[in-house]
Amino acid sequence: MRAGFEPPLSLDKKPYNGATLIIPKKLGQNRMLIAALKETALYEKRVAITPDIVKKYKDMGHSVAIEADAGKEAQYPNSMFEKAGAEIEKDKQSLLKKADIILSVAPLHKEDVTFLKQGAIVIGSLKPYQNHELLKSFVKAKVTSFSLELLPRITRAQSMDVLSSQSNLAGYKAVIDAASEFGRALPLMMTAAGTIPAARVLVLGAGVAGLQAIATAKRLGAIVSAFDVRAAAKEQVESLGATFIQVHIEETGDAQGGYAKEMSEEYKKAQADRLAEVLTTQDIVITTAQIPGKPAPILITEAMLKTMKTGSVIIDLAVENGGNCEGAVWGKTVHKHGVTIVGPANILSRIASDASQLYSRNSFHFVKNLFSGENGSIPWEDAIIMATALTRNDAIVHPQFNTSTQG
């Protein structure tokens, strides 16, 4: 046995709705091996554990193992992890077999799941709406899994909220990328040779990413406006000094948890008419609109593109889920009717160091809460646990996925 690792946890077998649950004894009291793999998703450069968080896990009495070069692309070399007290593991399969907890940024490959030991726990952004087969593989391997995108919008979960931390950075980076693509300056510039007017920036979707995009564009001196179907967004947009674009129909897109819901056909038509009018004056458009569990709504049609200024730029942050702009292509920059349309493949991996650090902190707070029950057990009735648990050993337990993924 390699130094620094505890033996596998002993297991109890208990019935659970006709299935067999394999539960580590006194899980929170044992010294666990917490591991992070080198991410293999296309364009993914983030890492789920950063060196500063390794120390926090060690202070809790756990061991930490990192797959070799897992943090290299995020500017965290192996030496930084070793200095923090982590073990560097070159054999990925060996690490999967002995880890008690696997922390990941992107969903695991189904092939990797087959190497996990029974009773292991996987925590990450697992994209359950798009990965039904992955849930089945967790059940087959008797692995417990938690998806951090499903965290409830409650105060106690804010320190764990990976969507907010990552969206914040994405909104910032989208504006920086747009400014780079745009062939002019953003702020008003008055010189002896004449005046350059400020660029006009429109943000579609005023969630966390959208609000940060507004704030960043304002800091760069642009004239900013924004649109969102949620009535609650108006005050937030205006508090940042931007103009809120309104659709004059008595309908709101506010849904449970602060998310947006799908709107009526009447509203969509009025929205399209209003946006078509506004888009003709814009230089940069940042789109962020998404609906959980559904394809992103198309907000900018090809007909609208034809009316936009030559040289204008669109950054479509929703492109991974279909996109808000007709013609946007994931991972590519395309040019249509004089408009540059950028479909970022993984915008967070181009700011991977900071994105990894925030993600790692979010995950750490989730792990701390995960074993906050009596004698270090998992409090399965906790609101955060109930909202994020996908599988519990050999059963799919999340109500949104247990019927569509089993069988």
State the catalytic residues.
153, 158, 161, 164, 259
What one-letter code names the amino acid at 105?
Answer: V
- Cβ of 302: how many Cβ atoms within 10 Å? 12
Kindly state the DSSP code that residue 70 receives in the 8-state scheme: T
Q: Smallest Cα–Cα separation from 120: which of 37, 47, 32, 40?
A: 32
Kindly state the DSSP code that residue 260 receives in the 8-state scheme: B
**Gap between the Cα atoms of 309 and 278, Å rounded:** 11
Whether residue 352 contacts residue 73, with contact meaning beta carbons closer than 8 Å, is answered with yes
What one-letter code names the amino acid at 338?
Answer: G
**Gap between the Cα atoms of 379 and 377, Å rounded:** 6
Length of the chain: 407
Radius of gyration of the chain (CA): 23
Which residues are CB-contacts of 36 (< 8 A; sequence separation ≥ 6)? 47, 48, 49, 64, 65, 66, 67, 70, 102, 103, 104
**Gap between the Cα atoms of 268 and 88, Å rounded:** 53
What one-letter code names the amino acid at 387?
Answer: A
Q: Most distant CA pair in the chain: distance in Å?
A: 80
